[in-house]
Amino acid sequence: MKERIECDLPWSVEAKFADVPDALWEQIEPLIPPEPAKPRGGRPPVAARVVMAGILYRLKTGCQWKALPNDFGSGSTCHLRFQKWVQLGVFAAIHRELVGYYHGRRGAALKWTSLDSASVKAPKGGTSRGQIRRTARKAG
């Protein structure tokens, strides 16, 4: 049986997705800029390690940002922090550390990559048009 991390939800995230391994976090943490203080107060920021776990969860599962489990804070928080780190060039450095870490553990030498996708033509409408209901009266 897989170990699970308990949370307030009726379900919980598998342990392998719930945290960044300590050895990896020791390499990544120095790269992440601290969150600026909020002079007007507000909610405390979500810990960078929790956000990083959320980003890795999204990369592993391919889920939408808004579909991230609450274990990682909100999907919006993870997405905003991800965008910020990309813009600052931090995520490129984090990605290099991730590749190096997993290469050491699993031999993931990325000399080439592959992307799988599917494209489907969007329908342009039905065979007949329904009646259009007017929302405003004619002037006159």
Nearest residue to 33 via CA among 60, 18, 52: 52
How many domains does the chain fold into? Answer: 1
Q: Is residue 22 part of a domain?
A: yes
In a domain, 5, yes or no: no
pLDDT at 78 over 90: yes
Residue 4 inside a domain? The answer is: no
Count of alpha carbons within 13 Å of 118, Cβ hemisphere only?
Answer: 2
Structure confidence by residue, pLDDT tens digits, 55-72: 988 988 888 999 998 888
Is residue 115 one of the residues assigned to a domain? no
For residue 14, give the 3-state DSSP assignment: strand
The 3 state secondary structure assigned to 51-94 is HHHHHHHHHHHCCCHHHCCCECECHHHHHHHHHHHHHCCHHHHH
Please report whether residue 76 resides in a domain.
yes
CA 119 to chain centre: 23
In a domain, 90, yes or no: yes
**96-137 pLDDT per residue, tens:** 888 888 777 777 666 666 667 776 666 665 556 667 677 767
Range of the domain at 59: 15-34+44-106
Q: Is residue 92 part of a domain?
A: yes
**Does 51 reside within a domain?**
yes
Tokens of 96: 């290099």
4 near 15, Cβ under 8 Å? yes
